[in-house]
C-alpha cells in the first residue's frame, strides 16, 4: 500500500478566509481572530482527514516498498512530477517517464509501471512518487467550503464537547456535504 507524506505548506487562507468566517459568524470585532483561525484550521484538518483529500494545493511524496500498480490514498492528484527509486547499489535514481503511466482523472488516481528496474534488497519505501495534489483555490467545491463554515460555527458556539445538559455533536449537514468528496480505497 502506498503511504503519502505532505511536503509542501498549504495555503489555508486560499481555502477560506478569516473575513469570510467572521461574516458567517456575524463577528464584527478582532478580539477572537486567533480563535476563529484556529477553529478554521481544525475544521479544514478534520474535513481533509475524513475525505482523504487536501483542500489546498501542496507537494507530496507517495512511498511504496516496490514497483506495483497502485491507487493513491489521497487526492485529488494534479500531477506526478517524478518517480525515484533505490537501485540495487542503494543509489537513488529517477525512473524514466516512459516506464510508468498514471491516471489522475479517476477519483482515486492510479499509477502503473512497465519493465521496472530491480530495487535495493531489504528496504522500506524504496520507490517514491513525487506529486502535486489538492484543490486549486478556485476549484474547492462549494459544499466543502460551506461545511467548513458550519463546523467553525458549531465549534465557535459549542466550545466544549460535552455539557451537563446535552452532548454537542457535529451537525448532520457536515457529513452530508462532504461525503461525496471522500476518497475511499476498497481493500
Distance, in Å, from the CA atom of 56 to the CA atom of 84, rounded to the nearest integer, reads 25
pLDDT in tens, 142-167: 999 999 999 999 899 887 765 555 55
Number of domains forming the structure of the chain: 2
- What is the structure's pLDDT at 171? 67
Does residue 108 sit in the same domain as residue 164? no
pLDDT given at position 100: 96
Give exposure, 67-106, as e/b (b: 16+ Cβ within 10 Å).
beebbbbbbbbbebeebebbeeeeeeeebeeeebebebee
Domain region containing 42: 12-52+137-181
In the predicted model, what is the mean pLDDT of residues 58-74? 94
**Domain presence at residue 2:** no
Which of 38-42, 116-120, 123-127, 158-162 is predicted most confidently?
38-42
| Residue 157 DSSP code | H
- Pair 72, 114 in one domain: yes
Amino acid at each position: 500500500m502506498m503511504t503519502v507524506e505532505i511536503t509542501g505548506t498549504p495555503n489555508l487562507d486560499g481555502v477560506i478566509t478569516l473575513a469570510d468566517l467572521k461574516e458567517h459568524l456575524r463577528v464584527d470585532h478582532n478580539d477572537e481572530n486567533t480563535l476563529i483561525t484556529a477553529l478554521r484550521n481544525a475544521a479544514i484538518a478534520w474535513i481533509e482527514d475524513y475525505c482523504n483529500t487536501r483542500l489546498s494545493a501542496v507537494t507530496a511524496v507517495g512511498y511504496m516498498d516496490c514497483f506495483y500498480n497502485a491507487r493513491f490514498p489521497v487526492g485529488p492528484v494534479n500531477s506526478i512530477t517524478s518517480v525515484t527509486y533505490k537501485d540495487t547499489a542503494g543509489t537513488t535514481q529517477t525512473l524514466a517517464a516512459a516506464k510508468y503511466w498514471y491516471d489522475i482523472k479517476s477519483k482515486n488516481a492510479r499509477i502503473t509501471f512497465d519493465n521496472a528496474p530491480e530495487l535495493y534488497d531489504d528496504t522500506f519505501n524504496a520507490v517514491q512518487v513525487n506529486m502535486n495534489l489538492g484543490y486549486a483555490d478556485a476549484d474547492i467545491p462549494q459544499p466543502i467550503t460551506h461545511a467548513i463554515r458550519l463546523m467553525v460555527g458549531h465549534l465557535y458556539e459549542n466550545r466544549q464537547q460535552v455539557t451537563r445538559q446535552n452532548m454537542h455533536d457535529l451537525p448532520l449537514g457536515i457529513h452530508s456535504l462532504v461525503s461525496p468528496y471522500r476518497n475511499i480505497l476498497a481493500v
